[in-house]
Amino acid sequence: MGADVQNDNFDDKPLNPHRYDALDQGLISLLREDGRASVSELAKKLKVSRGTVQNRIEKLVSTGAILGFTIRAHEGLSQDQVRAVMMIEVTGRSTSQVIRHLRGIPELIKLHTTNGKWDLIAEITTDSLVEFDRILRIVREIEGIIASETSILLSTI
């Protein structure tokens, strides 16, 4: 049971086994706080040159440590969306096949492997309950899935 998923946004690019030092980790931490921070601002906070920051960002992107840059929107902007988590049990050795099918469903925004009763946990976001119902049916019809349990997320605390 279970198979390795390289990362939570389903990117097929594997993480390069490069060693990341404290500067790389500090840069990633700052970018997590503000993905739009300027190179100058990052360099000042890290007490290194702009060139060093730019080179490190390029290295982190090319080695797969940074997969992309995004925003975090206020919860109120997406209040009409239906968000849920679905726990999935997979039969036998079909986890890789099931993951391939699930990766093709855009409404599944994250997919996690886990241990215990459930083999996978999928995070789902749709624009309506009708769309949510359609996605549940699609997932439940995937060959290799023998059980699932879904919980709609009501609010974030």
The chain-wide mean pLDDT, for the chain, equals 84
- HSE-CB of 6 using CA atoms within 13 angstroms: 15
Binning pLDDT at 50, 70 and 90, where does residue 11 land?
Answer: very low
Q: What is the torsion angle, in degrees rounded to the nearest 10, for the CA atoms of residue 31, residue 37, residue 45 and residue 47?
A: 90
pLDDT surpasses 70 at 120 = yes
Confidence at residue 52, expressed as pLDDT on a 0 to 100 scale: 95
pLDDT per position as a tens digit, 89-113:
999 888 999 999 999 898 998 999 9
Average pLDDT of 28-50? 91
Tell me, what's the pLDDT at 127? Answer: 87
The type of residue at 110 is: K
Q: How many CA atoms lie within 13 A of 77 on its CB side?
A: 4
